[in-house]
């Protein structure tokens, strides 16, 4: 039996369906990221698990116990909000101790847990400081320490790094992952940042319009998207709609034969290939030719947009110096059949 189970979990507001029949299992110690655009239902799902929002239907099981109708305070979950929600008039130690006081933990045990948890997040020397005296990253660590001090069965994180600048966010992602590994607490985090989800998660739960589109390990999700939405939200992708009347070793589009390892799928399909899988090629080796309409420098790589008979295509190339091709150049493109993904148009939401 899974440690946390969501069974047919739904939330409706009159005629609006915020979350529709969500089924998800989470193993003990697993780090799950709910990923998706604004309004996709990820925060509502997290709030139902926390107990802040009452489901319209479905159930939530925690370690085999139905907690669907249980008050938030009785669930004992650790929660970190984007705003951190620290008490400005309390010291760091007092903020961390707050949840323990609510649980009526005795003073000796409370003091011991506060000290050990602050050491865990590397804030031991700052126990007497107030939130206003801390940096953004330090305030986030206090919020994590407060959530972890109560020794929750599940840690819920709602966009916890949304208020941090890009450099600090990258640093905190690594620190959060290391902390979760050390503690081993089951964690569910909401984010709209695909790079953050891929960095942190054991599994990503991709949501769109209140529904789960795809669930899987980050590398599996990236390499094997199940449709247009998954491929374009989790990274960049070249996606083409094709009709394939019969099986064969390739698909045809605009007079071009595109390679695929899927010889059996037929009907209305989407042909997907990632920009980094494309290569510039000579005339004899190219699958399609086109004109470079844009060349953008992105630090560790270059991004090219190429206008082709198939439509606009994107290609990325590692930065090893200034590339030999420029805007306006005519180029050939090629890629391997194993790097192309062929899925039914019903496999994802366009």
Helix (H) or strand (E) holding 194: helix 194-200
- Please say if the pLDDT value at position 45 is more than 80: yes
Q: What residue has token string 């391997």?
A: 336
Using only the alpha carbons of the chain, give its radius of gyration.
Answer: 24
Q: Residue 183 has which token pair?
A: 């503690």
Q: Residue 167 has which token pair?
A: 């450099």
**d(C-alpha 324, C-alpha 302), whole Å:** 12
Average pLDDT, the chain: 93
pLDDT in the model for residue 81: 86
pLDDT in the model for residue 261: 93
Q: Residue 69 has which token pair?
A: 């109708």
pLDDT in the model for residue 136: 86
pLDDT in the model for residue 346: 67
Q: What is the pLDDT of residues 275-289, one digit of tens each?
A: 999 999 998 899 999
Half-sphere exposure of 267 (CA within 13 A, CB side): 6
**d(C-alpha 188, C-alpha 300), whole Å:** 31
| Domain ranges within the chain, ordered by starting residue | 4-223, 228-318+330-347
The CATH architecture of the domain made up of 4-223 is 3-Layer(aba) Sandwich (3.40)
**d(C-alpha 33, C-alpha 163), whole Å:** 18
Check: pTM over 0.85? Answer yes or no: yes
Mean pLDDT of 26-32: 97
């Amino acid at each position: 039996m899974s440690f946390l189970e969501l069974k047919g979990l739904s939330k409706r507001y009159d005629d609006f369906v915020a979350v529709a029949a969500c089924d998800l299992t989470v193993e003990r110690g697993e780090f799950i990221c709910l990923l998706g655009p604004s309004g996709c239902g990820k925060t509502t799902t997290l709030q139902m698990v926390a107990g802040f929002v009452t489901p319209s239907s479905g159930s939530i099981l925690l370690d085999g116990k139905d907690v669907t109708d249980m008050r938030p305070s009785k669930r004992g979950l650790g929660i970190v909000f984007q705003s951190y929600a620290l008490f400005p008039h309390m010291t760091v130690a007092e903020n961390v101790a707050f949840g323990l006081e609510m649980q009526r933990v005795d003073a000796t045990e409370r003091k011991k847990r506060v000290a050990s948890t602050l050491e865990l997040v590397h804030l031991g020397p700052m126990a007497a400081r107030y939130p206003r005296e801390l940096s953004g990253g330090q305030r986030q660590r206090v919020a994590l320490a407060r959530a972890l001090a109560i020794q929750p069965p599940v840690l819920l994180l709602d966009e916890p790094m949304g208020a941090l600048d890009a450099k600090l966010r990258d640093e905190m992602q690594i620190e959060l992952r290391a902390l979760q590994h050390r503690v081993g607490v089951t964690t569910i985090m909401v984010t709209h940042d695909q790079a953050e989800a891929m960095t942190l998660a054991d599994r990503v739960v991709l949501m769109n319009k209140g529904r789960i589109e795809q669930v899987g390990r980050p590398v599996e999700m990236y390499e094997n998207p199940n449709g247009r939405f998954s491929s374009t939200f989790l990274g960049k992708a070249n996606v083409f709609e094709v009709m394939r009347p019969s099986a064969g070793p390739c698909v045809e589009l605009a007079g071009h034969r595109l390679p695929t390892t899927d010889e059996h799928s037929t009907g209305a399909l989407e042909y997907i290939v990632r920009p980094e899988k494309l290569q510039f090629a000579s005339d004899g080796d190219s699958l399609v030719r086109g004109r470079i309409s844009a060349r953008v420098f992105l630090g560790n790589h270059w991004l090219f947009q190429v206008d082709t008979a198939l439509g606009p295509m994107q290609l990325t190339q590692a930065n090893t110096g200034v590339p030999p091709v420029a805007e306006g150049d005519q180029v050939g493109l090629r890629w391997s059949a194993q790097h192309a993904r062929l899925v039914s148009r019903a496999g994802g939401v366009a």
